[in-house]
Amino acid sequence: MAFVGGLGVGDLGVRRRASFASQRRRPAVLRMVAVGPRVGHGFDLHRLEPDNKLILGGVVLDHSVGCVGHSDGDAVYHCVVDSVLGALSMPDIGQLFPDKDPEWKGAPSDVFMRATKDLMEEKGYEIGNLDVTVILEKPKLSPHKGKMRENIAELLGCDLDRVNLKAKTHEKVDALGENRAVACHTVVMLVPRPLEHEAQSTVAEATAVTVDDPKSLAQDWMQMASKRVMVNLEAGTAAIREAEAAIQNEHVLQNLYETIKSRKGADPSSSWTAKLFSKGRSKISQKVGEEGTEVVIAGIRDDKPELIKESADLLYHLSVLWADAGVEPDEVWDELRSRENTSGIAEKQSRSS
């Protein structure tokens, strides 16, 4: 695919190769706090014609035809770059490095790879894993796949086992199969960079350039690190609270029942529940009926707060009745569970028969 011009990329700070060097000088405080993984997809295609070099994944291949296109036409690098930029929700390679700009004419595509790695790290990410599929009829890529993987892993600053590369032919059909084009697909997952990597980058940057104020750089770093910790801590705490609440909700009726049961046989003057038990089954059943009626009234009146209150009263008195009759909540839950796989109508029929 030929690059198309577009978007003023000055705001992104990646207009010129020279500016990438100055990018590296930006202290780590400008890095963003990454939360959660991000997925990106890339696709690229170049025409193959005589008098062009065939370079894929940084490997120069001996072949009669080569890639037509901007820069050195490395469809694999272009495709990898697009997937990483996509995962970062950034403009694509053609917008970041417009082909109308003579700066990129014949440029080696590893420049785009390095720039993309910088952008990815500035946003607080690194490669989780990358899967590349190259479609080329000729020449055979199997002898070169290892080197391509190594090049990609090195340029993106990740371990080799995070990069996979497959090569396919196009079964001699269409432009790809007739060796008139080469295509590439990539899928990438980016993951937040561990804090120690951020720290290493900061140290590397601080030692590579003259730092006017090392103390303030250190403070910036501390701030960024503590912000990252706080974000993760807050997310973790919220998840734990939610799980605890869910567990408590699940056990609230069981806990109520246990409390009620413990009052059985106690001195009637010691608690309301003990007094209710002392009045006997008829009185308890009658209370359940009364609370049921209150629920009905609240329902008909469409009074939600009252419905909640009366439902709680009903469940309390129902639990007293269960405890008095020796019915365990589990027996009721089992009955409900046995109905889960039955349709409403079938269940009703089985009850009425």
Query: Which stretches of the chain bind Zn ion, using CB under 5 A?
Result: 44, 78
Q: What is the DSSP string of 216-276?
A: HHHHHHHHHHHHHHHHHHHHHHHHHHHHHHHHHHHHHHHHHHHHHHHTTTS-TTT-HHHHH
Task: Pick the closer one to Zn ion by CB: 97 or 257.
Answer: 97
Question: Rounded to the nearest whole angstrom, what is the least distance from the CB of residue 89 to Zn ion in the complex?
Answer: 20
Rounded Cα–Cα distance for residues 265 and 292 (Å): 26
First to last CA, the chain: 71
Min dist CB 75 to Zn ion, Å, is 5
Q: Which residue is nearest to Zn ion (CB)?
A: 78
With contact defined as beta carbons under 8 Å apart, do 82 and 42 qualify?
yes
> 195 in helix, strand or coil?
helix
Q: Which is nearer to Zn ion, 77 or 257 (CB)?
A: 77
Minimum Å gap between C-beta 1 and Zn ion is: 5
Is the CB of 112 or the CB of 322 nearer to Zn ion? 112
CA 272 to chain centre: 52
User: Smallest distance, Å, CB 71 to Zn ion?
Assistant: 8
Phi-psi region of 8 (alpha: psi -120 to 50; beta: other; left: phi over 0): beta
> CA-based Rg of the chain, rounded to a whole angstrom?
34
Strands, DSSP E only, in the chain? 38-49, 54-56, 59-61, 66-67, 125-135, 163-168, 181-192
- Give the distance from CA 313 to its chain's centroid: 43
Nearest distance from C-beta of residue 69 to Zn ion, angstroms:
5
The residue among 44 and 118 lying less far from Zn ion, judged by its C-beta, is: 44
Q: Which CB, 179 or 273, lies closer to Zn ion?
A: 179
Of 183 and 224, nearer to Zn ion (C-beta) is: 183
The distance of closest approach from Cβ of residue 38 to Zn ion in the complex, given in angstroms and rounded to an integer, is 22
